[in-house]
Amino acid sequence: MHQTNSIAELQHLVRTWRQAGENIALVPTMGNLHAGHINLVKRAQTLANRVIVSIFVNPTQFGPNEDYTNYPRTLTEDTEKLTKNSVDLLFTPECSTIYPPGASTQVSVHDLSEIHCGAARPGHFTGVTTIITKLFNIAQPDLAIFGEKDFQQLTIIRKMVHDLNIPVSIHSVPTLRESDGLAMSSRNSYLNSEDRTLAPILYQTLSEAKRQIEAGKSDFRKMELVYLQQLQQAGFQPEYFSVCRIDNLSIATITDKELVILTAVKLGKTRLIDNILVSLSDS
């Protein structure tokens, strides 16, 4: 595996691959890699001749009271995992490379970025779409792979690519879970033993809500309130629990058939997000 923090070196390799007729996949990450990330890499390898993984803890998607400084940085271990899984190129740019002095340009997807997680974390998704646009411009991949755990982020990136005519195909991979259902996340390492025991209740609650909808329950607003209360009683600090249309994440109505239930909570000092898809037949 080749590793570089140089844009010029990355682009030289990309040109070499393209001259050989190879296509390229990008897997953007912030490091502290777990099995879910490796799953993205494996998916990329089925779709492209060459796979680039980027590791960059992006400061512009963290709020002033969030965990940018303490976010886990495990480059040595990450490099070993990516080497073992035959990644072609690891891109680890410095912050000054991505955001040179005086940089002030941002990319923002309005409306979608201001609801759900965006309401609780103003500016977060603008940081995400700005860094993803930069990585697309730098690496010029044919396709990029994202996990479905952050479903709002995935939806925003898809819309950004569509709106700006960016020639990158976006592929998603279902959320990888621990044996007890907890969605794999770099932030799970923040959970103490008591909170880790409680954490699977989040996915259990989503699954129960899905079963209720599939059984015919259609008062989504009442359901949301009930499950918010249940999560609070279980020891979480819920931010939202929302039954949404899958296409634009707007609040779902009784006529909608393709749904996603989105939720975000705090458990101790750790913020957890998760979601579950619901597809209803017309019968």
- Res 209: pLDDT: 98
Under 8 Å between Cβ of 238 and 231? yes
Tell me which residue range forms the domain holding 243: 186-276
- Res 281: pLDDT: 79
Domain presence at residue 281: no
Under 8 Å between Cβ of 39 and 176? yes
Q: Hey, which residues are catalytic here?
A: 37
Low-confidence stretches of the chain (pLDDT beneath 50): none
Instruction: Tell me the per-residue pLDDT of 104-126, one tens digit each, with 9 for 90 and over.
Output: 999 999 999 999 999 999 999 99
Residues 192, 167 share a domain: no
Residues 152, 33 share a domain: yes
Residues 154, 268 share a domain: no
Residues 122, 11 share a domain: yes
- Residue where the block lists tokens 């930069």: 134
Residues 226, 195 share a domain: yes
Find the radius of gyration of the CA atoms of the chain: 19
Under 8 Å between Cβ of 24 and 30? no
